[in-house]
């Protein structure tokens, strides 16, 4: 009996010591790893349709060319990787060709990858500065062109919008045009959520073209200039809407303009835009000839056809037509 009592006492002492050790040494947490794996991005959606012919037979990208060489002759792919529960990017990168886009994917966790594509379209291409030997694209891109991903993120707002993107003038590589809400750049955007893995598969992103077009044409317009101004209502986002246009008899029937818009995130049309046309006559006089409120539609080239009276002072006619980028046409009088 005495032996049993001594055994039980020793057992209690051993258990107490063991419990105390467990309190002092809790189970180790799983190791935190910063390992990443490179994964290829594959683009689908509207980006595959960018060479669809417009109704006049020309292809997007062959419309105008800059007088001097500029980055605008290429397409810029801007990529950002974020945590799903955060907004600041973990990795960012700028690329010049879709086949070279590989992103750094963490081995665990939930993330979002977004890509924004800027094509020259009808404008002068994106404006850039030189920083540490690299082409640096200012707001809203805010990073350098290195054709690789980088964990050094200069600005947390990377690639949140196309509004106020700096576009270079057509005759210079060092002059930036005034920033506007609808810049003259063909713009695409897409994003997708994914879960980090040590052995991830390629990530597919469906791209949406967030652009619209404007074209002016005129009959019997033989002298002077047309000055075109764009504005929006007082409740709209502040800032200039589009760059003003000056149209002449020499260019009005040949030029058109492809522009990017953030409005297409939630709608297939822009906010209401007021278009005002002023005729500047050779004798120095001028008068407003037309004002029109227009909703510009995604993937649609809106044509404004002006008809000037040939022999009288009758009013100037305006007809609005819409051509989508698959070639179908509807006319609204």
Residues 54 and 202 in one domain: yes
Specify the higher pLDDT residue, 256 or 332. 256
Residues 203 and 130 in one domain: yes
pLDDT of residue 55: 31
Least confident of 179-183, 198-202, 222-226, 269-273: 198-202
- By three-state DSSP, how is residue 261 classified? coil
The answer to whether residue 67 scores a pLDDT higher than 50 is no
pLDDT of residue 153: 67
Residues 47 and 161 in one domain: yes
The answer to whether residue 12 scores a pLDDT higher than 80 is no
Residues 68 and 193 in one domain: yes
Task: Kindly indicate the confidence band of residue 21, based on its pLDDT and cuts at 50, 70 and 90.
Answer: very low
* Mean pLDDT confidence for 315-325: 71
Q: Kindly list the distances between the CA atom of residue 114 and the CA atoms of 2, 52, 154, 300, in Å, as whole numbers in the listed order.
A: 76, 25, 17, 25
What is the extent of the structural domain holding 220? 211-332
Task: Kindly indicate the confidence band of residue 318, based on its pLDDT and cuts at 50, 70 and 90.
Answer: confident
Number of domains in the chain: 2
Task: Kindly indicate the confidence band of residue 27, based on its pLDDT and cuts at 50, 70 and 90.
Answer: very low
Strand order in the sheet with 134-137: 129-131, 134-137, 143-144
What mean pLDDT is reported for the chain?
Answer: 77
The answer to whether residue 239 scores a pLDDT higher than 80 is no
End-to-end CA distance of the chain: 111
* Domain presence at residue 74: yes
Burial of residue 128, with CB atoms counted within 10 A of its CB: 0-12 exposed, 13-18 middle, 19 or more buried: buried
Give the pair of three-digit tokens for residue 301: 């080239």
Residues 172 and 310 in one domain: no
What is the pTM assigned to this prediction?
0.77
Give the pair of three-digit tokens for residue 323: 């051509």
Residues 88 and 161 in one domain: yes
* Mean pLDDT confidence for 309-327: 67
Residues 49 and 128 in one domain: yes
Task: Kindly indicate the confidence band of residue 15, based on its pLDDT and cuts at 50, 70 and 90.
Answer: very low
Of 209, 241, 273, the position where a domain reaches its end is 209
Beta-carbon neighbour count of residue 178 at 10 Å? 12
Residues 304 and 200 in one domain: no
pLDDT in tens, 42-62: 999 987 644 333 332 222 233
Residues 189 and 314 in one domain: no
Q: What are phi and psi of 6, to 5 degrees?
A: -65, -40
Of 209, 236, 269, the position where a domain reaches its end is 209
* Domain presence at residue 293: yes
Residues 156 and 218 in one domain: no
Beta partners for residue 305, in sequence order: 217, 319
* Domain presence at residue 25: no
Q: What percent of the chain has pLDDT over 70?
A: 71
pLDDT of residue 57: 24
pLDDT in tens, 75-126: 899 998 888 887 677 888 999 988 889 988 888 889 999 999 999 888 888 9
Q: Which of 136, 168, 135, 165 is nearest to 66 (CA)?
A: 168
């Amino acid at each position: 009996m005495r032996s049993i009592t001594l055994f039980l006492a020793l057992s209690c002492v051993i258990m107490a010591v063991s419990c105390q050790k467990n309190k002092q040494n809790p189970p180790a947490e799983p190791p935190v790893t910063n390992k990443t794996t490179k994964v290829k991005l594959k683009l689908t959606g509207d980006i595959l349709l960018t060479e669809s012919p417009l109704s006049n037979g020309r292809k997007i990208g062959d419309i105008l060319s800059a007088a001097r060489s500029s980055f605008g002759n290429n397409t810029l792919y801007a990529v950002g990787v974020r945590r799903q529960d955060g907004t600041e990017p973990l990795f960012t990168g700028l690329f010049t060709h879709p086949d070279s886009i590989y992103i750094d994917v963490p081995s665990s966790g939930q993330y979002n990858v977004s890509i924004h594509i800027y094509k020259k379209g009808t404008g002068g291409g994106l404006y850039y500065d030189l920083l540490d030997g690299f082409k640096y694209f200012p707001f809203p891109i805010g990073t350098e062109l290195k054709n690789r991903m980088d964990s050094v993120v200069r600005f947390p707002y990377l690639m949140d919008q196309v509004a106020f993107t700096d576009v270079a003038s057509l005759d210079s590589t060092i002059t930036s045009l005034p920033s506007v809400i609808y810049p003259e750049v063909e713009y695409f955007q897409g994003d997708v959520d994914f879960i980090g893995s040590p052995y991830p598969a390629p990530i597919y992103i469906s791209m949406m073209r967030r652009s619209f077009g404007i074209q002016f044409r005129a009959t019997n317009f033989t002298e002077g200039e047309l000055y075109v101004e764009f504005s929006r209502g007082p409740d709209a986002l502040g800032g200039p809407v589009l760059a003003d246009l000056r149209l002449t008899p020499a260019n009005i029937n040949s030029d058109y303009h492809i522009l990017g818009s953030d409005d297409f995130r939630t709608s297939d049309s822009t906010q209401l835009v007021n278009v005002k046309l002023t005729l500047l006559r050779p004798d120095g006089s001028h008068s407003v000839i037309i004002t029109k409120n227009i909703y510009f539609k995604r993937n649609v080239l809106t044509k404004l056809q002006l008809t000037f009276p040939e022999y009288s002072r009758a009013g100037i006619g305006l007809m609005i037509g819409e051509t989508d980028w698959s070639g179908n046409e509807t006319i609204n009088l």
